[in-house]
Chain A
Amino acid sequence: MDDIPPYPPIDPTTFDLIVIGTGLPESIIAAASSTASKSVLHLDPNPFYGSHFSSLPLADLPSFLSSHSTSPSPPRSPSSDDPNEFSLLEFATRPLYSSIDISTFSPNLLDQHSRKFNLDVAGPRVFFCAEKSIELLLRTGTNQYMEFKSVDATFVGDNKGNLWSVPDSRAAIFKDKSLGLVEKNKLMRFFKLVQGHLAGEQDIKISEEDLQSPFVDFLNKMGLPPKIKSFILYAIAMADYDQEDTGVCRDLLKTKDGIDQLALYNASIGRFQNASGAFLYPIYGQGELSQAFCRRAAVKGCLYVLRMPVTALLVDKDTGCYKGVRLASGQDIFSQKLILDPTFKVTLPSGSSPPLPLKEKLPFFSLKDDKGKIARGICITKTSLKPDISNFLVVYPPRSLFPEQVTSIRLLQIASNLAVCLPGMFVLYISALCNDDDQGKKLIHAVMNTLLTVPLDSESNAAVQSETAENGSAVQDETSESSSGGPSDSGEEKPTLLWSALYSQELTLGQVDFICSTPMPDGKLNYNDLIDTTFKIFQEIYPGEEFFPETSLENPEGDGDASPET
């Protein structure tokens, strides 16, 4: 990325829409706009698709994170002296990630195979089989560019390292070994109530009053024991905050929304015949999704240019209206509309405010309320957290690990059969909402300490080694790589950490109020909210256009089968 190659000039120079950044929302808008017969130029300064939604090789991830962790150098040249009729507003990027902490415990092993890894920048993330993004994939035929596999199970974890399977279906409740008979009965009756309600059966309608009340109150009213409440709230409805502590809960789930979540989960189970669980994960990582929409857009005529930084925004000197962008190559490209990756910011000439007409012309999208940050962690191990099962989700409900934990922590283990890592290895994605970096680190570390053996550094590594030697277990090599690389002989031993990346991501950035920015990766497990927001942006820029009309299906002979590979 350092040596920017000579840029070929782009032709034509005028488009209906310029999209900068190939993250998921940008890619969907590019595809939708192309489908609506708009001419679209899609640019990305990176040499890969997906920007903050991408899946990167192991070696590239740290540099990508750190490139977005500092404010860039000040603009190279003052902009106002442009000879043309345009004012130049310089672009800058704002930091998205902070407290980046990369630890390598097996450098040789991993470095040599960096490209064998496809690590999601915005993990953990899965598709609910029945969620909007899957519908969108099917409707647009984009699914032909992707392959999925099933995430086989969901577990709830505790602070002792146990993973309890979530009884999320009738068969799972029947099979579950940890629930008592009474609990099984209560849970199943609750599911039936919800199903009856959703099916519109008259005699089991949930009252409007209940629907508007907090979900947790409704669960209490249904007499569900704490364990089951926790399953429903955090492992099925995927609530983020402690629902029983209104003091800390920033997002109190209403019964109505809780029921909707349950409906989504329920519809997801068994939707595809060869997906045993509720979730799907794409082969080669989540970055495939953005790329698939880019391919969809390209088929419809969207022009793609990667490795193309954009330096400035061109605005009409008189009216202050947006006119186009100046590329790093020096070329000016013009368009009616502009969509920007959220990390871009525009530096206004000091002391001036954006011209009023701009404010009106460009819609302003703010994400939902301030949600602070999200702490993310990526860990690589050589053994699965649970024998006999490789791809699964683990939820740590609030306060399940330590008393001050007020948010759910989610962990997704993905194995090499999804082509995200070296054969025999596992990638763990961990995330939790937090107020600040320290709190976030604490949350991620709590999970890692519960589930993994973390070799602290070379010194403590030696200590671990001598300990094992005393125990008389298998003779270990002297080199630290092999000692940390091989999993312990004892089957009970926790998986050993080989590599980890911990970082915090901003959930909201200060919005530039006259630039149409797409949302950044959110704290959710799936893409539902992102798709919603993206849809709204599209409607805003092209109010008269249909968002992927039904007839746009590329291959009408395809039966819309998104079922994953077995």
Chain B
Amino acid sequence: MHGRPRKAPKPEEEAASVAKAQKLRALQTQFFSFHHNKIYTKEAVELSAKLLEINPESYTAWNYRKLAVEHYLSQPDCNPDLIKSVLDDELRVVENALRQNFKSYGAWHHRKWVISKGHSSVDNELRLLDKFQKADSRNFHAWNYRRFVAESMKRSEQDELKYTEDMIYKNFSNYSAWHNRSVLLSALFEKKAEGFLSKEKVLPEEYEFIHQAIFTDPDDQSGWFYHLWLLDQTVTTDSPLLASSWPGHGYDVLLVEDRCYNGSAFSPFTALHSDSGSFPIVLYFNQPVGGVSSSTVTVECGFNKNEDLLWKPLSASNSQTARVWVAHLKIPSSDLHSTVEVSVGHSKGIISTRGFEYSDPSMFSFKVHVQPMERGFSQVSVAESISLREENFKIYGTQSEESIINSFNQLSIKNGHESTASNWRSEALAKEIECFRELLSLMDCKIGKLTLARLLMAYDVMSYPFANKLVHSEEVLELYSDLMKLDPTHYQYYKDEHSMVLLQKYKDSVSSAICGPICLRLNNLSLSRMGAFEKLLWVQMLDLSDNELQSIEGLEAMQLLSCLSLRNNKLRSLTALEPLRKLKLLRVLDISYNQIGDHSIDTTRYLCSSPLSHSVGSESNKDETVTSDVALIDNWEAFYIFIDFNLNQLDIVGNTIADEKFKSVLVKIMPKLKQLDGKLLG
């Protein structure tokens, strides 16, 4: 039961508990001897029942009973009557055990097992459940079991939905009931059942319903959880969509093989330096998908065969699903002016993690120009150190440059989004926004503020998919700033969300560059999290210095990055650099003045699935002699992270880890490194 303070046991209660333990121990000893000797006599089975009545948590006893049942059922003289009586006995034992503790996992599981045998009446189960759910309407075991029973007896979702409604009317602080409602509705949506054909009709009614709970008692969590589910149902489209790509539709991509290009007719945004003989095509989906391959994505160009293209998912977990997929086109050595056409999803196979098929076939094309290498010149540029310091950049502040970026962003996401941006979704969001503004006008409510912020963001994204600035960003930023003050416990979460909004706001307005590649400056914004990658696929130089980043998750999507500054952030471990392993073009990295090595225990390894545990994907074949080096064994994390890097230039000064010994290890791992902490390497 809920909300009942625990009382210190009285002496007589303690005495009773000791007596009970003694009795239990005696029973248990005898039980184990029966169990080990596989004795399934009536008397032995009775004993296990006695034990379970006192202690329903004894899962060994449950298993023993299962064995006993199997034993009886396998007897040659077994007949339907006997089966029934054996199984009825089991149900009775479970019921008694549940009376003792109706939150016993073992007991509920045993009941499921017995019912699954298919010899017992399921109708009876519903009656039993009504009893238990009356005693504690929030008991999630009972709700779980109810779903099982409802399914076994083919009770309609509509009937069960009605049941949740009744339970909610009795007490709306019942997350189990709301949860069951979301499960049932999901099933009905999927079935496209009568009256549940469209979310368009059902969701507004559900919003109306949950408003009653939220407004009546905003302090109750269950309503908010259900609202969050509704919001998710409103904003997510079932089938995955292509959110953006690089190159975008209509791009003129200039590939230069050295760092300085002289094709002034091309925009600096699409000029790409590549020394690896290939360039990436990046597909960014709005949700993780699997099944991207040369059969589901067709790339038509004059210089590569579609079948040769290998699509790889970019995800931290090395799973076969990801939001970002990349393939590399080989650059022919000669002069080239060619058009590339990419068709996505014209044949089936791209499937979201939730099982929905990509259903929005789209096509984009771009032109590729290859500028042959000017000999001699590149030698100079390689030796030259790249600095992201501000004085080296000119500001791209003019209107014309901004509009270029804008147009790119628009082009890159123009793949038929209009068709899916349904009106009812944004209408529903607008209604919700109005509703929660009203709630906040009545009272101060943290979760209300958070919900409003989420709603505003979702609304902006949905209603103005092509706008560069979010209409409500100022308001959302203010909400998150408020929340950071009101609710310090969850400061970091709000800070992260705040950063995401900030990014939306800044990403297009500050761009500066020197001599070729565009640098996006997002420095000194007190960002704690990085995001909006789908709109930053074009970025080659990124300045994230002087922020508060603890993680750079998702950065792997920025396949064009050649130059990255993470100077003066809050990165705490080498494993935090994991996303960088996938950036094949990265040559210059500044991770100076972070907190790497401050914490002897890398907590990220416990929080996230360890990146190193799936590092088998390492592409390098370092010879044994390197890996057997003692210094490397001591620094195996550094080894795994840096082994795949193709860095020319690294700054790591100002981290605890970066002592001279460590630096010498780095030099060993990355023989191509030209410059470390500003010093040229011999």
Contacts and interface: CB of A to CB of B under 8 A. Distances in A.
B216 A186 contact: no
Contact of B212 (A174, A182, A189): A174
Contacts of B171: 171
A170 B435 CA distance: 20
Contact of B170 (A171, A182, A184, A186): A171
A171 B213 CA distance: 9
Given A170-B217, A171-B170, A171-B171, A184 B443 contact: no
B439 A185 contact: yes
A175 B169 contact: yes
Q: Considering the complex of A and B, which 6 residue pairs feature the smallest CB-CB distances, nearest first?
A: A181-B215, A185-B215, A174-B216, A184-B216, A184-B215, A188-B216
Given A170-B216, A182-B438, A185-B443, 12 more contacts: A174-B169, A174-B216, A175-B212, A181-B211, A181-B435, A181-B438, A182-B215, A182-B442, A185-B215, A185-B442, A188-B215, A188-B217
Assign chain A's interface to a size class.
10 to 19
Contacts of A174: 169, 172, 212-213, 216-217
Nearest to A183: B215
Interface string B433-451: 0010011001100000000
Contacts of A188: 215-217
Contacts of B438: 181-182
Interface in A420-441: none
A163 B439 CA distance: 28
Nearest to A177: B212
19 contacts: A170-B216, A170-B217, A171-B171, A174-B212, A174-B213, A174-B217, A175-B169, A175-B212, A181-B215, A181-B435, A181-B438, A182-B438, A182-B442, A184-B215, A185-B216, A185-B443, A186-B442, A188-B215, A189-B442
A185 B443 CA distance: 9
B218 interface: yes
The dominant DSSP class at the A interface is helix
A481 B195 CA distance: 50
A171 B172 contact: yes
A173 interface: yes
Given A181-B211, A181-B435, A173 B442 contact: no
B212 A181 contact: yes
A186 B443 CA distance: 9
A182 B215 CA distance: 7
Nearest to B219: A192
Interface in B193-220: 211-213, 215-218
Interface string B219-246: 0000000000000000000000000000
Contacts of B439: 181, 185
B1 to A, nearest CB: 14
Contacts of B172: 170-171, 174
B212 to A, nearest CB: 5
Contacts of A182: 215, 438, 442
Assign chain B's interface to a size class.
10 to 19
Contacts, number: 40
Nearest to A167: B216
Contacts of B435: 181
A464 B373 CA distance: 108
Q: Which residue among B170, B216, B435 has the maximum number of chain A CB atoms within 10 Å of its CB?
A: B216
Contacts of A175: 169, 212
Interface string B414-450: 0000000000000000000001001100110000000
Interface in A7-40: none
Contacts of B216: 170, 173-174, 184-185, 188
A170 to B, nearest CB: 6
Contacts of A185: 215-216, 218, 439, 442-443
Contacts of B212: 174-175, 181, 184
Q: Which residue among A171, A175, A185, A189 has the maximum number of chain B CB atoms within 10 Å of its CB?
A: A185
A171 B215 contact: no
A181 B209 CA distance: 11
Nearest to B438: A182
Nearest to A186: B442
Interface string B314-355: 000000000000000000000000000000000000000000
B561 to A, nearest CB: 48
Interface string A147-187: 00000000000000000000000110111000001101110
A533 to B, nearest CB: 39
A184 B172 CA distance: 14
A173 to B, nearest CB: 5
A170 B217 CA distance: 8
A184 B438 CA distance: 13
Interface string A286-330: 000000000000000000000000000000000000000000000
A179 to B, nearest CB: 9
Interface string B474-509: 000000000000000000000000000000000000
A186 B217 CA distance: 10
Contacts of A186: 442
B44 to A, nearest CB: 40
B338 to A, nearest CB: 61
Interface in A78-107: none
A372 B658 CA distance: 93
Q: Which residue among A173, A181, A186 has the maximum number of chain B CB atoms within 10 Å of its CB?
A: A181
Interface string B547-566: 00000000000000000000
A565 B88 CA distance: 34
B164 to A, nearest CB: 14
Interface string B247-274: 0000000000000000000000000000
A185 B212 CA distance: 9
Interface in A184-220: 184-186, 188-189
Contacts of B215: 181-182, 184-185, 188
A280 B512 CA distance: 78
B459 to A, nearest CB: 20
A270 to B, nearest CB: 11
Nearest to A180: B215
A43 to B, nearest CB: 50
A175 B168 CA distance: 9
A181 B210 CA distance: 11
A266 to B, nearest CB: 15
